Amino acid sequence: MTHRNSPLTPAGRLRLVQRVENDGRPIAHVAAEAGIARSTLTKWVHRYRDDGIEALQDRTSAPARRPSRLPIDVLELIDAWRRDRKWSARRIALELASRGHHYCVRTIGRWLQRLGISRRRDLDPTGENNRHSGKIIARFPGHMLHLDVKKVG
């Protein structure tokens, strides 16, 4: 199946390359007739010269490497801390930073989503949220009051 952004099928690429190779036509003319960029046809011609017909097959558009991707051992830590200790993305980011791995909280949150454990209820097989309600105790009378103090002036 042809890649959806590909201008031609592998057979069409071969026909264009053969017009350049066998007929001796200029790459710019053949590319203009086909409605593709000259650089694209140049790339196909060089691939054909180097590796033959197989080089004109569809290729993946995914990058060959991802230098900013999290290492596997860091992903295993994220997964373990979330499942075992039920830590938030913020807490996990802080713990990773203390170990020399600096990632933003949003990156950790995205990985928690990809792993399927971004919500508390995802951690429990029954689907409950695993939170325990507790009693809030003030340290001293008036400790938990919120007062709006306006400056006079």
> Within its chain, how far is the Cα of 93 from the centroid?
18
pLDDT digit string (tens) for 64-82?
888 878 999 999 999 999 9
In the block, tokens 């002036």 appear at 153
pLDDT digit string (tens) for 34-72?
999 999 999 999 999 999 999 999 888 888 888 878 999
Q: What's the whole-number mean pLDDT along residues 102-108? A: 94
What CA–CA distance (Å, rounded) separates 42 from 132? 65
In the numeric block, which tokens belong to residue 6? 């590909």
Q: What is the pLDDT of residue 143?
A: 78
DSSP string, 96-120: HHHTT----HHHHHHHHHHHT-SSG
Q: What's the whole-number mean pLDDT along residues 21-25? A: 93
Q: What is the pLDDT of residue 63?
A: 85
Q: Which amino acid is at 43?
A: K
What CA–CA distance (Å, rounded) separates 80 from 116? 13
